[in-house]
């Protein structure tokens, strides 16, 4: 039995067990330590009860139980959140990973997805129809947290963020009731969940607009980090003029080992990972200016979209220790590149990186007030991730991430992409929603006046 977790009255949990089809895991159960694991091994929390729901009825019963027992509630989809917002100490975890289904309607290219599906599962199912839902990279990420926070990925410049492709959601609210939200039904709530995170209820099902994306042309190109002061401003300029089908994120990184060639191992690079989702016949022409910059390594070519999406899965298995810090940027000019040269040259562990993801093109054309995701005028979502497997390196990766962030912060444009953060202060959450914060607060007061859903980037009532 785990001594540090709160216990709940046995008769109450037995009664709950009779109401649900999913499984209940308690601190004394043998599967408890496995069930409380999240992707980031730096997070070590001990819930009093974990309920792996398999349907909406389970979620409704769980919410009502938590209310009756006055339990803190965390909602978990993929468990990827950097700050571990899918789990909590001494409360209830409503784990949605048993609510998985994907139904594609090829006629209108819409996709119905369960609240517990991962990105890889969605990509696999849609690819059979030559379709894709714009979402993030790394296939083990949960569709739940990614979508509710925004959703940046390789298709953002062409088709917008994941929230820009959300048509409808089914939700269980703080009082245990069920609603479907879309442009016509509960439009205020539909607006709020497109960026407002898990503040408003538990999404058990998403309906997305998918797009014709099948084979893409992409992969990484690398230059020695010493060239970043040349490559970064060029990248910004080039991408601004490039078709929206071309996307790429720029990074400072170390090559940790295979599958990259041995000659690159443990050297520091400025890398760009490209993904072109337009007409493949035009790809070679589009990539000519990139190749003219003479990368020291490239692995770029035609690739099925799901393979592109999971290109780095092998390097980033669950169980590594992560520390995240983020900001938005409007300009990756000389000052930013100079800081990236300094911190990109002093990467503390092989998997620690800095990424700048474009949010230009279609993602930037949505008005700031159309969704809670306020900073549509920013051009890049930057993130610094200190990553390692060894707890002895925690201090080192945290310090490097903070120092890198402090050096870049003066050139940032305000607010942050909350999905790229640890658990943030209310002030930083407020700034990230900007002028949309007051509207979110009103909707929070209407649907969750007691702040029942507060293990998230919280809009505190």
Ligand X SMILES: Cc1cc2nc3c(=O)[nH]c(=O)nc-3n(C[C@H](O)[C@H](O)[C@H](O)COP(=O)(O)OP(=O)(O)OC[C@H]3O[C@@H](n4cnc5c(N)ncnc54)[C@H](O)[C@@H]3O)c2cc1C
- As measured in angstroms, the least distance from the Cβ of 314 to ligand X is 12
Helix (H, G, I), strand (E, B), or coil: what is residue 234? Answer: helix
Rg (CA), the chain: 22
User: Pairing mode, if any, of strands 73-76 and 49-52?
Assistant: unpaired
User: Residue 302: how many CB atoms within 10 A of its CB?
Assistant: 13
Q: What six digits make up the tokens of 459?
A: 């809009």
CB 345 within 8 A of CB 268: yes
User: How far is Cα 382 from Cα 362, in angstroms, rounded to an integer?
Assistant: 18
Using the contact rule CB under 6 A, the part of the chain among 5-13, 140-148, 370-378, 437-445 near ligand X is: 140-148
Q: What six digits make up the tokens of 186?
A: 């509960």
CB 322 within 8 A of CB 386: yes
Residues 6+ apart with CB under 8 A from 167: 110, 182, 207, 208, 209
Q: What six digits make up the tokens of 192?
A: 């709020």
Helix (H, G, I), strand (E, B), or coil: what is residue 344? Answer: helix
Side-chain-side CA neighbours of 160 within 13 Å: the count stands at 20
Q: Using CB under 6 A, which residues numbered 404 to 433 contact ligand X?
A: 419
Shorter beta-carbon distance to ligand X: residue 341 or 404: 404
Using the contact rule CB under 6 A, the part of the chain among 151-159, 237-245, 358-366, 402-410 near ligand X is: 151-159
Residues 27, 86, 160, 195: which binds ligand X (CB under 6 A)? Answer: 86
Shorter beta-carbon distance to ligand X: residue 27 or 78: 78
Using the contact rule CB under 6 A, the part of the chain among 3-11, 69-77, 365-373, 441-449 near ligand X is: 69-77
- As measured in angstroms, the least distance from the Cβ of 383 to ligand X is 8
User: Residue 182: how many CB atoms within 10 A of its CB?
Assistant: 14
Residues 39, 223, 269, 274: which binds ligand X (CB under 6 A)? Answer: 39
What binding mask, one character per residue, do residues 200-239 give for ligand X by CB under 6 A, x or -? --xx------------------------------------
- As measured in angstroms, the least distance from the Cβ of 450 to ligand X is 16
Q: Which among 277, 254, 316 is positioned nearest to 160, based on CA atoms? A: 277
- As measured in angstroms, the least distance from the Cβ of 224 to ligand X is 25
Query: Is residue 148 part of the contact set for ligand X (CB under 6 A)?
Result: yes
Helix (H, G, I), strand (E, B), or coil: what is residue 240? Answer: helix
- As measured in angstroms, the least distance from the Cβ of 227 to ligand X is 25
What binding mask, one character per residue, do residues 100-119 give for ligand X by CB under 6 A, x or -? ---------------x----
Q: Which residues of this chain interact with ligand X, rule CB under 6 A?
A: 39, 75-82, 85-86, 96, 115, 136-138, 141-142, 144-146, 148-153, 197-198, 202-203, 316, 419, 455-456
């Amino acid at each position: 039995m785990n001594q540090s977790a709160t216990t709940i009255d046995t008769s109450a949990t037995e009664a709950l067990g009779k109401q649900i089809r999913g499984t209940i895991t308690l601190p004394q159960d043998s599967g408890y330590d496995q069930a409380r694991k999240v992707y980031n091994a730096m997070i070590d929390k001990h819930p009093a009860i974990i309920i792996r729901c398999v349907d909406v009825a389970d979620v409704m019963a769980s919410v009502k139980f938590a209310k009756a027992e006055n339990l803190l509630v965390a909602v978990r989809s993929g468990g990827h959140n950097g700050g571990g917002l899918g789990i909590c100490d001494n409360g209830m975890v409503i784990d949605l990973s048993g609510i998985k289904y994907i139904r594609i309607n090829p006629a209108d290219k819409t996709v119905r997805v369960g609240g517990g599906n991962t990105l890889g599962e969605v990509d696999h199912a849609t690819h059979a129809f030559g379709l894709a839902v714009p979402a993030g990279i790394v296939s083990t990420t949960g569709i739940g947290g990614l979508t509710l926070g925004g959703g940046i990925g390789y298709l953002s410049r062409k088709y917008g963020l994941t929230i820009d492709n959300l048509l409808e959601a089914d939700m269980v609210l703080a009082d245990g009731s069920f609603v479907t939200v879309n442009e016509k039904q509960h439009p205020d709530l539909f607006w709020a969940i497109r960026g407002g995170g898990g503040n408003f209820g538990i999404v058990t099902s998403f309906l997305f607009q998918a797009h014709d994306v099948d084979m893409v042309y992409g992969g990484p190109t690398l230059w020695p980090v010493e060239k970043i002061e040349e490559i970064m401003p060029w990248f910004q300029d080039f991408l601004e003029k490039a078709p929206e089908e071309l996307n790429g994120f720029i990074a400072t990184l170390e090559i940790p080992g295979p599958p990259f060639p041995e000659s690159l191992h443990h050297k520091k690079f400025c890398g760009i990972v490209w993904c072109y989702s337009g007409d493949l016949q035009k790809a070679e022409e589009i990539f000519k200016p990139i190749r003219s910059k003479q990368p020291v390594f490239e692995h770029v070519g035609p690739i099925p979209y799901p393979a592109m999406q999971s290109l780095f899965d092998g390097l980033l298995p669950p169980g590594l220790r992560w520390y995240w810090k983020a900001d938005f940027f409007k300009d990756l000019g000389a000052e930013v590149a100079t800081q990236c040269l300094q911190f990109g040259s002093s990467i503390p562990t092989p998997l620690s990186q800095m990424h700048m993801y474009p949010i230009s093109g279609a993602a930037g054309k949505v008005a700031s007030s159309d969704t809670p995701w306020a900073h549509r005028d920013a051009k890049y979502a930057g993130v610094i991730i200190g990553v390692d497997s060894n707890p002895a390196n925690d201090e080192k990766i945290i310090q490097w991430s903070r120092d890198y962030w402090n050096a870049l912060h003066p050139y940032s444009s305000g607010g942050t992409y909350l999905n790229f953060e640890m658990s943030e202060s209310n002030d930083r959450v407020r700034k990230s929603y900007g002028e949309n914060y007051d509207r979110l607060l009103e909707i929070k007061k209407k649907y969750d006046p007691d702040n029942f859903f507060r293990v998230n980037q919280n809009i505190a009532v």
